[in-house]
Structure 1
Amino acid sequence: MRTLTKTQWIVPVLLLFGLVACEPQMSSDPSLDPAPTSESVTFEAEPDAENANIIHFTNTSESFRAVWDLGNGQSKEGDEVTGEYPLEGVYTISLTIFTPSGQAMNIDSVSIAATNFDMLDDPNLNLLTGGVDNVGGKTWVIDSTQAGHMGVGPTTSYWPEWWAAPPEAKTGSGLYNDRYTFKLDGFSFDMETNGDVFLNAAYDDEFDNTTVPPDGADLMAPWTAPENQTFNLIEDDNGDLFLKVSDPTFIGFYAGANTYQILELTENFMSLRYFDPRNEIIWYHTLIPEGYTYPVEPREYTSEELIDNFDEEGNVNWVTDQVEGFNENYDNPAPIPINTSGKVAKYTKSNETWAFDNVYFDLGYELNLNERSLIKLKVYMPSYNDYTTTDPNAPDWAPHDYLAKQVEVKLHNASDLGGDAWTTQETIIQPVSQTDTWVELEFDFSGVSDREDFDRVVVQIGSEAHGMPGIFFIDDFQLTAAQ
């Protein structure tokens, strides 16, 4: 289970440390000198001539490698390294040396007499915490309404090239109700979990009472972060910026890490990348300040003639939504009046109990129904479809539990977040009584011409929310002015 007592010393602790010995690792080769001991690990610490909160460390031991923990969240390597300490207090420093005979470590401390507020006036610290004037700190949350707020990729990638989460993909997992507050005062970090967290299944041994969230992926667990946690911003020798929070806290989806590379940090956006040691992959998160909403750019309110006859290139870009297939270049199954064209579109409804089974296209603008409000199309319904058998697994809200002889056209505001565009949709259903022949249908939306928010057109055949399969054909789609 994940402990709540372990603390990482990132900010100063008001205790003095003497030298702490560490048992050396011994070499078994008798030709080598004796292995180093903690007493042979020595170093010097000199304040910078211009800034006493910057300390220059020098390894004075005989070794071929020196590794430092500078007590401020940074680890460095080399005989001469530098640490920055903007806050007053005592910092624990450890030096590990490596010789041909073995390795040893020693621990000492440095004392910083006063806080250097100029060092705290750092652009990245101000963006993360809100700065010195924001006493309560700045609270960040997972950017759940945007695609890519969580993702995964290989260790060689700087973007989630394997998978990027759609909006609200992890609802109910314990991820979206967590809050992360960073305060400049004392570099304080507060992780508010609201009682549960989301974690990779490989780390279930670190938590008690893990359960599977609603989406059936990875795990969630009851967990509350301890108080008095800390954070630190670290810039490495390559200029890369890292955010480190004290153990046992973490940010977002837990995958064995509490150190995160900051890929982007602005006033209203933060992008993080972190390494998963058990799976040896990289995870990603994007965060926004709590309460922040993205500005909605006004879209053009207009209309244009839309045509797709599937014989020639039209100006409609169809997208499938759960239908098994939509072939826009299919031979006309019945080239007879009223449709003798060579090519049509084949619409295949699957035998899965999907919610909708749609095809749709986005306009890229808000549709002006005062200019064009009439949608026309031709449909062919084969008699070989089963229009009578019912689906016992269809939900109670399904309009039909069988394959209905109908075509439904819907207008959506696709900007509605969280998959709720159906709550504000306008829809027209046209029944089709004839099979094995082409039928022309019209859908007149002039009755809702006062709406100025429609930017998606949806076509659905056979009704929704049941698993009865069917094959249909459409042709000569058109958006035009009402007669």
Structure 2
Amino acid sequence: MKNYISYICLLFLAAFSWTGCEVEDPELAPAPTAEQVTFTMKPTSNPNIITFTSTAPGFKALWDFGDGATGEGTEVTHAYPVKGEYTVKLTIYTAGGSTSSTQKVTIANTNPTMLNREDYNFLTGGANQLEGKTWVIDKQAGGHLGIGPITGTTPEWYQAAPNEKASEGYYDDEMTFKLSNTLSYTYKNNGTTFTNGANAAGIGGVASASDYTVNYVPPANLTWSISEEGTKKFLIISNGGFIGYYTGVSKYEILSLTENEMYLRSGSGANAEHAWYQKLVRKGYTAPVVQKPFKVVDLNDNFDTPGNFTWSIEKALFNESYDNPAPVGINTSAKVARYTKAPGKDNEFANVFIDLGYRIDLSKRHVIKLKVFVPSYNDYVSMAGAEDWAVKTLQKQVSVKLQNSLLGGNAFTTQAEVIQKVTQMDQWVELTFDFSGVSQRTDFDKILVQVGGEGHFNPGIFFLDDFQLMP
């Protein structure tokens, strides 16, 4: 750019005999120096609460308060209920880059009144429980380990079934939180830790595509803190410590915390798109089993009028009010449902399902019927990719599965499935799915419908109508 401006100057000189042309190349300003990154610290009326003020130039100020908590802004306030020396770091961002500097803040005395709060007491047992409170993974609960999108709020991608990780060295881990002159945290793991493969190198393992158990000795003298960011609370472990399953982070969003149960959500150091969930319980506590009610209910949806249940969608595209593509023969309804399986690996298990909220009494109702229209224009020959165990092509079939939703992502392990092949193309046919063989089962609370097969990456379009569960 500077050469180009100089060239323009030469043209002006030649044309007008100017005696000079000095134009400087606009460049980014230099990054601030550490000496320029300054801040003040001033106690409030409570000496355990400090106000930090940045006196450095820049458009963004980020703070690390030295106890695991962070903040943002030119002026911030932070509470230190426990005595000690904390290293506070300020990072300033300017047009030229970012630079940090640190100062130490000394808290002379622990403030007991600041420790007497509900979340601290739930976590530790309170000031009178000198040994602290020990937490373990709630291995009996479905979803005690789960994964979902970082933008979501639930582990929609995967939920571990009860005891699923029994061989991984995950369930013998114990996490003890104490409330005293120091907020101490002890992680006891009997020598091994269950780790996310992509993050394993962070605790001495080797990066892997799969999770595995790694030998690991937890550091001593760990501490914990709870920070509040807007309406959210985060449990933070010092010095790279972590809770249960290792994902490369030490900060956990507290989704719920009671005297006996804790539910946490955390990120992944190696994958910014993933959020991990963990359920913990107080050691020695067994959560009561709450059974869903057991009901006899007729189910029906003709898609012309609202059915008496709600369809949920997993990867499939599902239009519940689509013009009937062939209103003749056994189905002259005006509206039907259009079911689309999109291409690609992400859609290999596409389905729609009904989460009933109660367990189905199959002794009274065990036959499901529906109508299906299978178009001949789908490609039932090509192979766009598939799992090793799967049929490689789009299938002319409908599968109905009964599942126990409490098993989360492993509900398929105990499911009952009936598959009906369709041989008549481009016309409506009625299919019957008879579950009399499992009519004594009392754990099913979910009905799943899957069209076109699973485990392959091929697309397909189908039409459904007149779904019903009947005697």
Given candidates 128, 131, 135, the residue that maps to 2:123 is: 128
- Code of the residue aligned with 1:303 in structure 2: it is V
Which residue number corresponds to residue 404 of structure 1?
395
The answer to whether the 8 A contact 1:149-1:165 is kept is yes
Match of 1:138 among 131, 134, 144: 134
Secondary structure at the counterpart of residue 405 of structure 2: coil
User: Among 173, 177, 187, which residue is 1:182 paired with?
Assistant: 177
Gapped runs of 5+ residues in structure 1? Answer: 1-24, 28-42, 44-53, 59-63, 65-69, 76-80, 96-103, 153-159
| Unaligned ranges ≥5, structure 2 | 1-33, 37-41, 56-64, 71-77, 89-101
Deviations 1:381-424 (A, max 9, x none): 2222233x2537333322x322332222221112223x111121
Output aligned runs, 1:48-59, within 5 Å.
none
Give the Cα–Cα distance (whole angstroms) in 2 for the partners of residues 161 and 415 of structure 1. Answer: 23
Q: In structure 2, what is the Cα distance between the partners aligned to 1:275 and 1:397? A: 32
Count residues in correspondence. 395
- Separation of aligned partners in 1, 2:264 and 2:447: 36
**TM-score under structure 1 length normalisation:** 0.60
What CA distance in whole angstroms lies between the structure 1 residues aligned with 2:376 and 2:228?
A: 69
In proportion to residue count, which structure has more helix?
A: 2
* C-alpha spacing 1:313/1:149, structure 2 compared with 1 (3 Å): same
Q: Which amino acid aligns with 2:315?
A: Q
CA contact (8 A) 2:296 2:361 kept: yes
Q: Which residue of 2 aligns with 1:48?
A: none
1:441 counterpart = 2:431: yes
Identical columns (%): 38
Residues 345-388 of structure 1, C-alpha deviations (whole Å, 9 max, x = no match): 1222233244433221122211112222221111122222233x
Residue identity matched to 1:349? K
After superposition, what is the alpha-carbon deviation per residue over 1:63-90, rounded to whole angstroms, capped at 9, x for unaligned?
Answer: x9xxxxx999999xxxxx998669xxxx
Aligned partner of 1:342: which letter? A
For residue 320 of structure 2, what is the aligned residue in structure 1? Answer: 328
2:453 aligned with 1:463: yes
Amino acid at match of 1:450: Q
Residue number among 205, 211, 222 corresponding to 2:207 in the alignment: 211
In the TM superposition, residue 56 of structure 1 has moved relative to its aligned partner by: 9.3
SS at match of 1:415: helix
Matches within 5 A, 1:127-166: 127-130=122-125, 132=128, 135=131, 137-141=133-137, 146=143, 164-166=154-156
2:92 match = none
Read off the aligned partner of 1:453 and give its amino acid letter. Answer: D
Structure 1 partner of 2:22: none
Letter in 2 for 1:467: F
**Residues in 1 aligned to 2:396 and 2:260: alpha-carbon distance in whole angstroms:** 50
Alignment partners' CA distance in 1, 2:134 and 2:334? 62
Q: Which amino acid aligns with 1:443?
A: F
AA aligned opposite 2:359: E
Alignment-mate amino acid for residue 446 of structure 1: S
Equivalent-residue separation in structure 2 for 1:147 and 1:337 (angstroms): 50
* Structure-2 separation of matches of 1:332 and 1:235: 53
Amino acid at match of 1:461: V
Does residue 370 of the first structure (1) align with residue 360 of the second (2)? Answer: no
Letter in 2 for 1:471: I
Per the normalisation by structure 2, the TM-score is 0.61
Letter in 1 for 2:331: N
Residues 170 and 194, structure 2, Cα contact 8 Å, conserved in 1? no
